[in-house]
Structure 1
Amino acid sequence: MGNADYSYPDNFNSATNHHHVAVPPPQPFVKSLKNTLKETFFPDDPLRQFKNQPPRKKFILGLQYIFPILEWGPRYSLQFFRADLIAGITIASLAIPQGISYAKLANLPPILGLYSSFVPPLVYAVMGSSRDLAVGTVAVGSLLTGSMLSDVVNHNDDPKLYLHLAFTATFFAGLFQAGLGIFRLGFIVDFLSHATIVGFMGGAATVVCLQQLKGILGLDRFTHETDLISVMRSVFTQIHMWRWESAVLGCVFLFYLLISRYFSKKKPKLFWISAMAPLISVILGSLLVYLTHAEKHGVEVIGQLKKGINPASITDLNFDSNYLSAAIKTGIVTGIIALAEGIAVGRSFAMFKNYHIDGNKEMIAFGMMNIAGSCTSCYLTAGPFSRSAVNFNAGCKTAVSNIVMALAVMITFLFLTPLFHYTPLVVLSSIIVAAMLGLIDYETAIHLWHVDKFDFVVCMSAYIGVVFANIEVGLVLAIGLSILRVLLFVARPKTLILGNIPDSVVYRSVDQYKNTNNVPGVLILEIDAPIYFANSNYLRERISRWIDDEEDKIKSSGEIGLQYVILDMSAVGNIDTSGISMLEEVMKIIERRGLKLALANPGAEVMKKLNKSKFLEKIGQEWIFLTVADAVGACSYMLHTCKPKMTSEEYGSNV
């Protein structure tokens, strides 16, 4: 076989109906680079609506793109306002107790939770593209802010500095989020896979629940660490300090909150029962403390809340070099988590109502509302799932529901803050625990186990890292495993042996379709990924092993000796110079064995590079086929017309 003649007979093209694969026309480098950058950063082509429009129309469209409220605002109706009014008041009843609770979770004054539910929702209503997202503080973001800043400054020792660093971290979070949107870098958030988010959110929710043991048990001193072991040690070394009054009150309200959620899930029309439960808990808890003077018997209360509208805090931003790195780090980490949660929630509800969410516009909106918030005494805000679900179920039509909520919150901190004086902290802890239990999505984790074991490992790594180490470790571990998986996909792509589906010209994996037929004398391999420097060596070795295995199989069965190797390159979207070198080496290895290499269906980008590298001249363009069926037909024709059939004994002696 080493002297095999693979020249085509004169009537080969007409006999096999062989069509040559076209090489794309050459394209200027600048134009090629422009197209690549456009697909990377502008896959949605946001400028298409501006094409062929007069200047005045372009200006109006530009304003509508930046401020979506200008697009849907002129079509706003009284019917929409009625629905948004009900939804806004409903989510305000949830936002007020949650805002106060989550501010305590971030070790910040409770009033900041109300401030953060006023300015940011107004900004989002003007710039956001979601109709259903309800903006406000989030538990995970609050916990992250509290734990990361506490590593630098103790909120009890220097509350003023701690507060200023929280504003500064929020400013950097907004700057980072807006930057991602402006520079079209939203794909960075995609590295937080679904499994990563499920595990991280579940772990963070568990940590948040553990932290609330301080309030439920009425403990004065508590660990600043967030890991399970430290929290349990802090709880059980202070058994003598547990206050039964606080524990009973906390368990009663937690039971009420969970029961109300259970009924709301059973009957979605009764969603308002669960939505109103936190506010009702605050009212009942405050009345109970006021009437029984429980604050004198170990039940801690919020105390005096400052009345008045958000004070300016732009002068409080702290860019001191001693704390700048901590503020930037906190801002970036919390900003990414807030984006991942907010965009995922917005897209989920947009899918139900069949409209589109622009991820980059959402990032800009999130960024601007956090920048504005940092200058008006607010800390990190996003689009929490619980509040957005209530907004959706309440029948909101547009982002005006956020405006209604913001106005309701404004009325609260202008006139109603004295009513929260007797609100027991244990009730706030119960509200947080009830909200967090909904984030521990064990059903999805079980689903991941059944569908994809590696995704389950990523999910559990994030969960265990957060619960047993800290939030940063869990996040880094989960993202690291996700990136490792991407690298493994690239570095170890699948190669499959293809066979013919009976009575068809279709070729599929012999492992997937057991009824496929082998083509005598022909080995068909499919490469299921782009060919890059990271996988070229692996593919060369893998193809060689496939050929060795096929030859061993042929020798033992006595079939026609292997003479042709076909590489199906349908899934090879691109190739680099290392990949081309690999193909050249594979061709030499194959030819040294007395075999012939053929390629099936290489894409335009691959053909362009194969042509420029002169590989097409080496292999011969007549050995490049449109389909696997064309390649098999040509090889079979050559076997029957130009070469005598060989037994395995003859094949072995030639080799």
Structure 2
Amino acid sequence: MGGPPFQNNNNSNSDDNKGNGQSTDTNDSILISSDDFSRSNLESNDLISNKDGVISPETIVFEDRNYGMTSPLVSPNLNEGISHTPQYTRYLEIVEKATGYISKALDLVEHRTPEQRKEWEEHNTEFYTRLYEKSNGEDMEEIKSNLYQTWAHEIEEKFVKYAGFEGYEIFKYLRMSYQVLYDSDRKIKETKITPKVTIRHKEKYDFDAPSSSPDLPKPKSRNISDRLKYAAQKMTKFLKTKGLIVKKFLRRKFTLIDLITTYKKEYLQNDISVGISSGTMIIPQSMAYAFLAGLPPIQGLYTAFIPAAIYCLFGSSRHLAVGPLALMSIMVGAAVQGQEPKDNDQYISYANLLALMVGVNYLLMGFLQLGYLINFLSRPVLSGFTSAAAIIIILSQANSLFGIKGDNQPYAWKYFYEIAKGLPETQWIAVVMAIGCFTLLYVFKNYFKTIPKTTIPVPAPLILVVLGLIISFFADFEGRGLALVKEIPSSLPFPFGSWQSISFDVALSLYKEALVIPVIGLIETVSAAKAAANKCKYDISMGNELTALGMANLFSWVFQGYPCAGAFGRTSLHMSSGAKTQLTTIVSVVVVGLTLLFLTPVFYYLPKVVLAAIVIFAVSQLIDLEEVQNLWRINKIDMLLLLVAFWTTIVLGVQPGIAVSVILSLVLVIYQSSRPNCYIVGRIPGTTTYNDIDLYPEAITENNVVVFRFDAPIIFCNSYYLRKQLKKIYKNEDDTKNANVSAIVLDCSSVTNIDSTGVKYLKELIRELVDLKIPMCFADVRPNVVELLKLSGVYRDLGGDHFFVKVHEAVVIAPKLTIRPIVEPKAGLKLNCFKKRPDGVYTELY
């Protein structure tokens, strides 16, 4: 292989050059593309000028664009006396072109020492000789093995060993070589050659043309049986080729298929026992949550029935339990009451329509892949909202606890007014029942968590309901005036049984509420599904979850339910009790279905105070006092945001509360993105490690070089902040220690991307520093960022000698760099100029 691209092969011997009076300064060497000049033009004695001065023809290295390399391959004349087939000749052309790109990559680092270049030339010549000796016998497999399995790895090891900053260029040209092979696949399919290249990061490019079997001959007979047989053969052929793809698609989208095909017998006992326990828990909970939404208890059972079964068909979680939620119920109640329905049937119809709207929104989020948006909701803000919402839910059930009459209210202070007004009418039987319910729930939760000798939790709500029914029946609570559930229809839900015509204005107003309700449901669903998946070591698909929730809510609309989502409490029950699959949910659905068919008359005597106690005990766990204590110690700003969300929800209601919570979260994200972490770093004595000088007072700065680390992508929202901070440094506006700055090094180890606005501010910053005669260097830059800087012209403005692999190299060399004036390139002339840096490394200026 010839010399490096910045060195003329005819002048490689420095002593001979001196003797001939030729220039030996490699800093002036320049590479000009064959697209701009012909070789005959370069042979003239005319001088070519560039912005650095006058360049003589001897300092020009010709670049061969046909093979994308700056020097020809070193290989023997292999075309003499050897005959090849046309297909194999074409194959060799492709290989040689790809090799050219690799050779160009190697040229960037092979200038280190003459010994290294000589060693590589010998290796290359030996390999080509061996390769073409094999080709004479057309042993294709041997050639492929040598070329793609041995030689490619030797090349990688070679350039990785000597890679400095130029390693970025190496990887680029190596990728180009693979791309040539990939693009040539369609042209050489007839050769049936199957080259396969394995790259270090385990990407594989396989160019094997699929073996195509001839189409089945069409039957000449017009007999129907012959034609049916032909159609069956075509279908069989299709299934053999496409069936696997279809099967994978169906198993990915319809997870119930995967459950059926992979189910194991040893899962059955746990799934059935946990499913029965979950079913007994959801029955009282769903009725209680329906009361919370202002709906009859039967609507809660309907919501826990069909939607849960539909989720099993599409959902990717093995443990998630879908049904009514406390927070969604209170939001549904507030949304429907805001429309002032004239009667109970219209109230149910409005709630039912919300299920349709929420389901459509979930499906749209899944189609547009918007599930990631919930990550922008701040945990402290959500904690403040959920704590306030829990308090509102507790207040909404206080009337039942005291046995007084009252309506659902949109604000917490109105509940306080209702309770205070009704206290003289308190029924002490209800208060005693409430105290007894809370005591039993507390005892079961803390002292009798599971059924003896099993891991199945005790169904405390069910036990409470049974005891309440027995006491109510024998103590004649109905005669004493205590509020009871009374009659519940005993039937399965009939499709569209609660549907009524709704005006467009009401539907539009409800849809505004339906934009917010799915957010709460999705947060709880994802939290529960991820917790179960992490503990049981499997993956969930956000797209599948959104689709499953959308379909569950659509069927909830069809079968007289209201909006539903994944419940954290029952999902935890499935996970901790040893459930393995969604068969648990199917069993619980069967339990709910049997209850709807046969057991609903039993609930006639159930006191509402029992359901109120179940709701209050469940939602009280949402009040997160520990989060407030942690934020007080860790981050006062986050605690302030929590309090704002909390009091907004308490004073203005649930809907404004969630709106303010979302806005606060977005404001927090924008603020933190616009002011990322950035600081000056110094060298720890005795090492080449650089750290924050504020955290490490012993860190030192050398040669008045300021190293500035920016821990974020340089994008539109923070690029001005970066420029502002650097401006303070070189203008010495913030710290007298930075006086007489000799150079600025931007540590880009955490910079993953730069957008057009970031490029604009960087260019302005570079121009200011050039005017002040202060070099600016980039260190530890990622390959994709380097490519962006080249495309945007920043690399050209500074020059490749201002880019370093390590921060310490930049600190040592930066003060010695010369500052070039920024000159826009002339149109129509492409120059690849190489320059020797003070450390002896040649770099491409642009």
- TM-score of the aligned structures, taking structure 1 as reference length: 0.86
Contact 2:410 2:654 in 1 (8 A): no
SS at match of 1:383: strand
Partner Cα separation in structure 2 for residue 455 and residue 486 of structure 1: 12
Q: How far apart are residue 550 of structure 1 and its match? A: 8.4
- What is the DSSP-based 3-state SS (H/G/I as helix, E as strand, rest coil) of the residue aligned with 1:135? strand
Corresponding residue number in structure 1 for 2:663? 480
Write the distance in 1 (CA, Å) between the matches of 2:554 and 2:503.
18
1:303 aligned counterpart, secondary structure: coil
Partner of 1:578 in structure 2? 757
Change (3 A) 1:522 1:149: same
Does the alignment pair 1:339 with 2:526?
Answer: no
Report if the CA contact (8 A) 1:112-1:378 is conserved: yes
Map of 1:91 onto structure 2: 278
Matched, 1:74 2:261: yes
Inter-CA distance 81–232: structure 2 relative to 1 (3 Å threshold): same
Q: Give me the CA root mean square deviation.
A: 3.1
Deviation at 1:122, TM superposition (A): 1.0
Match of 2:367 in 1: 182
| 1:226 aligned partner, one-letter code | Y
Task: Give 1:636 shift.
Answer: 5.7
Matched residue, 1:630: 809
Kept in 2, the 8 Å contact 1:166–1:327? The answer is no
1:367 and 2:550 correspond:
yes
Report 1:15-414 matches (<5 A): 19-20=165-166, 22=168, 54-154=241-341, 157-222=342-407, 224-227=409-412, 229-264=413-448, 272=456, 275-313=458-496, 316=499, 318=501, 320-414=503-597
**Residues 351/321 of structure 1: CA separation in 2 closer, same or farther (3 Å cut):** same
Deviation at 1:152, TM superposition (A): 0.8
Distance 1:125 1:223, change over 3 A: closer
C-alpha displacement at 1:20, in angstroms? Answer: 4.4
Q: Aligned in 2, Cα 1:555/1:418: closer, same or farther, shift over 3 Å? A: closer
Name whichever of 312-321 and 188-197 sits farther off: 312-321
Alpha-carbon contact 2:716-2:755 (below 8 Å) kept: yes
Greater Cα shift, 175-184 or 82-91:
175-184
Deviations 1:348-370 (A, max 9, x none): 01111111111111111111111
**Could you say what secondary structure the match of 2:410 adopts?**
coil
* 2:704–2:738 CA contact under 8 A, matched in 1: no
Report if the CA contact (8 A) 1:533-1:579 is conserved.
yes
Residue 342 of structure 1, CA deviation: 0.8
Q: Residues 119 and 406 of structure 1 are in contact (CA less than 8 Å); yes or no, is this contact kept in structure 2?
A: yes
Paired letter, 1:299: L
Runs of 5+ consecutive residues of structure 2 not aligned to the other structure: 1-24, 30-110, 114-161, 180-209, 211-239, 819-836, 839-846
Instruction: Give the stretch that moved more between structures: 569-578 or 65-74.
Output: 569-578
Q: Encode CA deviations 1:493-544: one digit per residue, 9 max, x unaligned.
A: 2221011122222222112323322112211111222222322322222111
Letter in 1 for 2:516: V
> Displacement of 1:64 after TM fit?
0.4
Q: CA deviation at 1:9?
A: 7.9
SS at match of 1:565: strand
Listed one character per residue, the Cα deviations across residues 407-462 of structure 1 (whole Å, up to 9, x for unaligned) are 01111110111110000001110010111112222223323333333333333333
Is the 8 Å Cα contact of residues 274 and 578 (structure 2) preserved in structure 1? yes
Structure 1 portions without partners, runs of 5+: 1-6, 32-51, 644-655
Measured after TM superposition, the shift of residue 572 of structure 1 is 2.0
Instruction: Look up the equivalent residue of 1:634 and give its one-letter code.
Output: I
Q: What SS is found at the alignment partner of 1:562?
A: coil
Decide whether the 8 Å contact of 2:775 with 2:817 is kept in 1: no
| Separation in structure 2 between the aligned mates of residue 458 and residue 239 of structure 1, nearest angstrom | 35
- The more displaced of 165-174 and 546-555 is 546-555
Alignment identity in percent? 26
Shift of 1:226: 3.1
Letter in 2 for 1:164: S
| 1:568 aligned residue (747, 767, 781) | 747
Q: Decide whether the 8 Å contact of 1:205 with 1:436 is kept in 2.
A: yes
C-alpha change, 1:221 and 1:291, in structure 2 (3 Å) is same
Aligned pair in 2 of structure 1 residues 555, 240: CA closer, same or farther (>3 Å)? closer
Q: 1:457 aligns with which of 605, 622, 640?
A: 640
- Secondary structure at the counterpart of residue 776 of structure 2: strand
Q: Which residue of 2 aligns with 1:595?
A: 774
Q: Normalised by the size of structure 2, how large is the TM-score?
A: 0.67
Distance 1:225 1:555 in 2: 59
**Counterpart contact for 1:132–1:391, Cα < 8 Å:** yes
Question: What is the identity, as a one-letter code, of the residue corresponding to 2:485?
Answer: I
Deviation at 1:374, TM superposition (A): 0.8
- C-alpha distance in structure 1 between counterparts of 2:500 and 2:785, whole Å: 52
Give the conservation status (yes or no) of the 8 Å contact 1:97–1:278. Answer: yes
The worse-fitting range, judged by mean Cα deviation, of 437-446 and 258-267 is 258-267
Deviation at 1:108, TM superposition (A): 0.9
Residue 418 (structure 1) aligned to one of 575, 587, 601 = 601
Distance between the aligned counterparts of 1:551 and 1:482, measured in 2? 31
Pick the aligned partner of 1:506 from 681, 689, 700. 689
Query: Is the 1:18–1:630 Cα contact (8 Å) retained in structure 2?
Result: no
Deviation readout 1:196-237 (Å, 9 max, x if unpaired) = 33222222211111111011111223352232x221111112
CA distance in 1, matches of 2:452, 2:703: 62
1:588-641 CA-to-partner distances (Å, cap 9, x unmatched) read 3223333111111333343333223322222122112222122113226669xx
- Specify the SS of the correspondent of 1:60: helix
Q: How much does 1:492 deviate?
A: 1.6
Q: CA deviation at 1:266?
A: 10
Cα drift, residue 270 of structure 1 = 7.7
Q: For the Cα contact (< 8 Å) 2:324–2:563, is it kept in 1? A: yes
Structure 1 residues 599, 120: closer, same or farther in 2, change over 3 A? same
CA 1:529–1:637 in 2, change beyond 3 Å: closer, same or farther? same
Q: Which residue of 2 aligns with 1:34?
A: none
Flag the 1:231–1:326 CA change in 2: closer, same or farther, 3 A: same
Distance 1:422 1:605, change over 3 A: same
Q: Is residue 271–residue 390 contact of structure 1 (8 Å, CA) maintained in 2?
A: no
Q: Is contact 1:264-1:270 (8 Å) kept?
A: no
Counterpart of 2:717? 534
Q: Secondary structure at the match of 2:752?
A: coil
Contact 1:20 1:625 in 2 (8 A): no
Letter in 1 for 2:290: A
> Do the aligned partners of residues 144 and 264 (structure 1) sit closer, same or farther apart at CA in structure 2, a change above 3 Å counting?
farther
| Contact 2:404-2:423 at 8 Å conserved across structures | no
Q: CA deviation at 1:546?
A: 1.9
Question: Which one of the candidate residues 788, 799, 804 is aligned to 1:620?
Answer: 799
Tell me, in whole angstroms, the C-alpha distance in 1 between the residues paired with 2:724 and 2:661: 31
Larger Rg: 2
Q: Any conservation in 2 of the 1:566–1:600 contact (CA below 8 Å)?
A: yes
Matched-pair contact (CA < 8 Å) for 1:245–1:298: no
Q: Which stretch shifts more, 236-245 or 355-364?
A: 236-245
Q: How far, CA to CA, are the matches of 1:133 and 1:439 in structure 2?
A: 19
Size of the aligned set, in residue pairs, is: 605
Secondary structure in 1 matching 2:515? helix
